[in-house]
Structure 1
Amino acid sequence: MQPVSREVEARTAALASASVQALYADPFWEARYGAQRARRFGDEDAVFHLRYLVQALDSQRPALLEEYARWLRTLLFTRGMCTLHLDQHFEGLAHALQAEGFGPDTLPHIYVQSAREALRHVGGPAQRLEAATPALVQDVVRRVGGELTPENRLRLEQETRLHLSYLADALALDRADLWEAHLHWYVGFWPRRGLEPLTFPHLLGALKAALGPEHAEARTLLARAPVSWEELHS
């Protein structure tokens, strides 16, 4: 019987393609990077994920994939992405592996889940914010989601989780400039989320209100966020 790493390697093309299809359904990628560029780099990243997975399996070192995930997270944040995006990519890979017969009790799936766990921030305000994210998401939805349909309330939860991920990354990497760059780009994209009458400044305001004193660093960073469309466009 051939090693499981060879089985995964032999299915690289199919696994890579399947792992990114759900991501491409999000208009964020086309809007942020252009349709052709988003797919080209997304497809390439999917193959790289699998190459590192194969190497980790060959060496019996899940840490190899974990280290790759943490390194890639830092690189991608400088290019306009966040931890949540990378986690979604690994989640897509886990689903693709399972569809090919590599279920939760197999080493390929276990290694990918280990890489996802490695993306959690360790220590400091970023870890506190990340740990509090589920409760903060629900707080924001209670504050500003009252006029939304049930479907849009779910989308609001996803949006809130996304921006909290950007905020946690900015805290972890001490890159307030990238947080601000994200906000200035996202304001133009916001209408495509279809969450009217909710505006982007309303969401940011709800985030500010939801953050308690235990998130002082996050509050300070978020306080620098614009609070009106005019400021966002300045």
Structure 2
Amino acid sequence: MDFAGAFQWVNIRFLLDGLLLTLQVAVISVILSIIFGVLLGVLRYWKIPILSKVVGWIIDIIRNLPLLLIIFFTYFALPQMGIHLNIFWAAVAALSVFESAMISEIIRGGLESIPPGQAEAGLATGMTKMQIMRYILMPQVFRDTLPSLVSQLIALIKDTSLATIITLPELTHHAKIIYSLNTDYVVPMFVALAALYFIVCYTLSLFSKQLAKRMATNT
């Protein structure tokens, strides 16, 4: 083990470059996952004939597939179907599809936990289903499911490391390059990876706790 050599500035900078790409993939995937996850969760909750069942089947299929298989599909199979994505967007697409399915179930569960009388009261006052969803149901859902949502998003950040299998130059891939050049750097690189992932994920968890407190005080 050579910590001094492994932690030279050139290696640290290389790791930080990988971390930056990891965060870029994660942020875009988080935004897309929340948008599509909420949409899919609402569609299932509304129980629209045929559509909700089809959406439910698709979500169940995706949730029971390995993320690694979805990554392989977006990068290797989609080009065979005429859809060409570079490594970055293939990783984003795979993560977004997988996490959207997970988040949709969290949203649907949150919606179904709210007493139906609230929606009925909204309809009685002349509100539309969209207005009820926006002003009555979703604020409660986000407040109640925030811990589960954050846990899922933290998992997404860690799952970006799986994209190293398609040579996405993210954090894990850069660490792999460094210790492949010198086997004495294996342990130091794993320590560095653990530290960087911990800092990012723990910071997100602290932020979510503060956000949850603010939401609780405002209700």
TM-score by length of 2: 0.29
Structure with the bigger RCO (C-alpha within 8 Å, sep 6+) is 2
Bigger radius of gyration: 2
TM-score by length of 1: 0.28
Going by fraction, where is helix more abundant, 1 or 2? 2
